Amino acid sequence: MSETVVEKHAFQAEVRQVLDIVINSLYTDKEIFLRELVSNAADSLEKLRHIQLTEKEIFDANLPLEISISTNENGGTITIEDQGIGLTRQELVENLGTIAHSGSKAFAAALAGAKEAGAEKAGALNLIGQFGVGFYSSFMVAKKVEVFTHSWKADGESLVWRSTGDGNYEIEALPGQRRGARIVLTLKDDCKSFANESTVKELLRRYSSFVPYPIKLNGEKVNTMQAIWLRSKAEVKAEEYEEFYKYQADAFDKPLYTLHFSADAPLALNALIFTPETNMERFGLGRTEPGVALYCKRVLIDAHPEGLLPEWLRFLRGVIDSADLPLNISRESMQDSALVKKLSSVVVGRYLKFLASEAEKNPENYAKFWKAFGIFLKEAIATEAGHSDKIGKLLRYESSLMKDGELTGLDAYVSRMKPEQKEIFYMYGGSRAAIEAGPYTETFKSAGIEVLYLYEPSDEFVMSHLREFDGKKLVSADTADLAMPDASVMAQGEALGAEKMEALCKWVKALLGERVREVIASKRLTESPAAATNADKMMTPSMRRLLRLMKEREGNAVDAMGLQPVNFELNAKSPLIAHLDELRGKDEATAKELTLQLFDNAMMAAGFLENPQEMVKRLNRLLEKVGK
């Protein structure tokens, strides 16, 4: 009986250094080894499937195309086996003896040539990664790796490849091997948890759920969920989408929206994007982690890829699968950021187009979306310059022409604008009642001009960042010098004479001093006696409040930052203004008290009042005089 010959080989000269990088630096998580070995097994099966179309003689032809994994906790081993193409002695040397040598790459190139020659029946291959480096991730967890293999060729050898990762390996003939490759990992002492069945099952669920071949763990099939994002959306039922959403997002609700599409340019991708029903950030659970997973031909690259989609879309869930993204050898980061940006741009553009369509087709359902996730679109306006026009169309607010609780968009507002109107007007306030009780919408109401109602402080920042929509400037209704119809004509009552009004304004300006920039006869007021308006169009009430808080903390240093005085407008047809003018000639002290109170009332209505305590004291003094 002849003695078995064991061939001993040394890796390439630089292999120790490269192997050290692979084991210690290339991958961030040791568990990645299982994903790589399963992906390689799937590659092997896919290659065999193609070979079966052209070759008549296949070794072990009746073996099923599947991946089998077995764990042995007592022995501290894990075994990954496939019935794919297997390896010849030369292929063992070339593919496992050379870091980053890629049989898959060469095979894909050969297939491309075959397709050009008309072999379309071969179909699309799912060939992933660099076989050499992916295989060597095994040594992150194993102190010894053995590969038992037999090539698909009938005259091939039964072989075993062994290495401890020390820079050497050996190849030995070992009769009795089945077609394919059986990789046995003898685990390091601190990695024996990977011989635990439940641990391996969870890793397979996380990384390899959608591998297109059956994966059996200790005899039980574990990949039961289909990669439905690769199917035509006409073939997928609503309940399948819901089941997949709950599986992929670990969710209990139903998706509010489902967007399923594919694209070929500027790069090939398949996407299945879900909008949840619930915004979890509203429950105080912290910032939502990105939930659209990145796949490369069914294999998970990153479950929570930072930077794949913009931050304001972090509420989305689903899958993006692209074969065109060039991955680095560990598959954990992408080499070409320009392609990632293209991928992001395609998905964001399609999602915004989808939302616009849904908002038009089903406003009631979109109102639910806006209530839950409108805050993210507002965030986008402040952070995403590239899509501001599209996002602007999705904003929704109440308005003076809508019933309480009804919402309208900027497109609809523009369609209702008067022919001579050149600006979109909005007004911020704590509630609809507060806005309509204030002085700023009086002239708009009289003139029949629509005003959008903003209830959240963030809305003002949204408007200041958006600035214009459809060529129309966005302007706050409390801004000074608005091009409005002359409200004094529409106001009821006899106007104070122009000379008297001019004199009164000068007297009030002298009294208020630096607290006001100008005191003028109003062209906007029809009922209210006075109003404080923004002298600086960019200074919103929210900005004033923020600067005021900073001033309280930092002192006068904030003054230079722009906490500007306001304009004070007086209604010439108001009986109170006429009484004030008369009173300043008879009882100037009381007239001053009344003027200061009138100014504080206007500042409070505008949200500008800084010291309400002094106003309350003055009001009490005035009430005492009236009561005498």
Percentage, residues of the chain above pLDDT 70: 82
The rounded distance, in Å, linking the Cα atoms of 465 and 498 is 40
Q: Which of 445, 453, 356, 373 is nearest to 407 (CA)?
A: 453
The secondary element (H helix, E strand) that includes residue 63 is none
**65-79, 130-144, 385-399, 447-461 — which one is most confidently predicted on average?**
65-79
Q: Which of 144, 197, 143, 153 is nearest to 51 (CA)?
A: 153
The rounded distance, in Å, linking the Cα atoms of 334 and 341 is 11
In the chain, the amino acid numbered 382 is: A
Beta pairing, strands 142-150 & 158-163: antiparallel
Neighbouring C-alpha atoms within 13 Å toward the C-beta of 596: 18
pLDDT digits (tens, 9 = 90+) for 200-233: 999 999 888 889 899 999 999 999 888 999 999 9
Q: What is the pLDDT of residue 430?
A: 85
Give the model's confidence band at 326: pLDDT under 50 very low, under 70 low, under 90 confident, else very high: low
The rounded distance, in Å, linking the Cα atoms of 532 and 469 is 27
Q: What is the pLDDT of residue 116?
A: 57
Residue 187 has pLDDT above 90, yes or no: yes
**327-341, 369-383, 436-450, 604-618 — which one is most confidently predicted on average?**
369-383
Q: What is the pLDDT of residue 510?
A: 94
In the chain, the amino acid numbered 523 is: K
Unique residue bearing structure tokens 């209990």 = 252
Q: Mean pLDDT across the stretch 284-302?
A: 85
pLDDT digits (tens, 9 = 90+) for 397-455: 999 999 999 999 999 999 999 988 899 999 988 899 989 988 888 889 888 899 999 99
Beta pairing, strands 451-454 & 423-428: parallel
- 66, with CB counted inside 10 A (0-12, 13-18, 19+), is middle
Tell me, rounded to whole angstroms, the distance of Cα 566 from its chain centroid.
39
Instruction: Let me know if the fold of 6-221 is the same as that of 228-374.
Output: no
Residue 590 has pLDDT above 60, yes or no: yes
Give the model's confidence band at 21: pLDDT under 50 very low, under 70 low, under 90 confident, else very high: low
Give the model's confidence band at 557: pLDDT under 50 very low, under 70 low, under 90 confident, else very high: very low
Q: Mean pLDDT across the stretch 119-130?
A: 43
Q: What is the pLDDT of residue 120?
A: 41
Q: Which of 612, 563, 581 is nearest to 519 (CA)?
A: 581
Q: Which residue has the higher pLDDT, 110 or 582?
A: 582
What Rg value do the Cα atoms of the chain yield, rounded?
36
**184-198, 455-469, 603-617 — which one is most confidently predicted on average?**
184-198
Outline where 449-587 has alpha helix (H): 457-466, 487-490, 498-512, 541-554, 575-586
Q: Mean pLDDT across the stretch 579-584?
A: 91
Phi, psi of 255 (to 5 degrees): -70, 135
Unique residue bearing structure tokens 């992150």 = 140
Give the model's confidence band at 122: pLDDT under 50 very low, under 70 low, under 90 confident, else very high: very low
191-209 per-residue burial string, b: 16 or more CB within 10 A, e: under 16:
bbebbebebbbebbeebbb
Q: Mean pLDDT across the stretch 601-613?
A: 80
Domain ranges of the chain: 6-221, 228-374, 397-476, 495-535+543-627
Neighbouring C-alpha atoms within 13 Å toward the C-beta of 601: 17
Q: Provide the token pair at 264.
A: 């070929």
pLDDT digits (tens, 9 = 90+) for 225-260: 889 999 999 999 999 999 999 999 988 889 999 999
Give the model's confidence band at 362: pLDDT under 50 very low, under 70 low, under 90 confident, else very high: very high
Unique residue bearing structure tokens 């019935």 = 83
Q: Which residue has the higher pLDDT, 340 or 311?
A: 311
CB atoms closer than 10 angstroms to residue 316: 22
CATH architecture, domain defined by 397-476: 3-Layer(aba) Sandwich (3.40)
Contact 23, 136 (CB under 8 A): yes
Q: What is the pLDDT of residue 333?
A: 53
Q: What is the pLDDT of residue 489?
A: 53
Residue 185 has pLDDT above 90, yes or no: yes
Residues across the chain: 628
Unique residue bearing structure tokens 């004070």 = 568
Q: Provide the token pair at 326.
A: 């060039």
Phi, psi of 286 (to 5 degrees): 90, 180
The rounded distance, in Å, linking the Cα atoms of 425 and 524 is 14
Q: Which of 121, 82, 88, 124 is nearest to 103 (CA)?
A: 88
Furthest-apart CA pair in the chain: how many Å?
A: 132
The rounded distance, in Å, linking the Cα atoms of 58 and 180 is 11
Q: Provide the token pair at 512.
A: 């208020």
The rounded distance, in Å, linking the Cα atoms of 123 and 119 is 8
Give the model's confidence band at 121: pLDDT under 50 very low, under 70 low, under 90 confident, else very high: very low
CATH class of 6-221: alpha beta
Percentage, residues of the chain above pLDDT 90: 49
- Coil vs helix vs strand at 448: coil
The rounded distance, in Å, linking the Cα atoms of 318 and 297 is 15
pLDDT digits (tens, 9 = 90+) for 381-394: 988 777 888 999 99
Q: Which of 249-253, 556-560, 574-578 has the lowest mean pLDDT?
A: 556-560
Q: What is the pLDDT of residue 143?
A: 94
Q: What is the pLDDT of residue 330?
A: 46
Q: Do you find a cis peptide bond into 175, omega within 30 degrees of 0?
A: no
CATH fold, domain 495-535+543-627, is Four Helix Bundle (Hemerythrin (Met), subunit A) (1.20.120)
Q: What is the mean pLDDT of the chain?
A: 84
pLDDT digits (tens, 9 = 90+) for 510-547: 999 988 999 999 888 888 899 988 776 566 655 665 66
The secondary element (H helix, E strand) that includes residue 527 is none
Contact 532, 566 (CB under 8 A): yes
CATH class of 228-374: alpha beta
Q: What is the pLDDT of residue 534?
A: 78
pLDDT digits (tens, 9 = 90+) for 501-519: 999 999 999 999 988 999 9
Q: Which residue has the higher pLDDT, 315 or 561?
A: 315
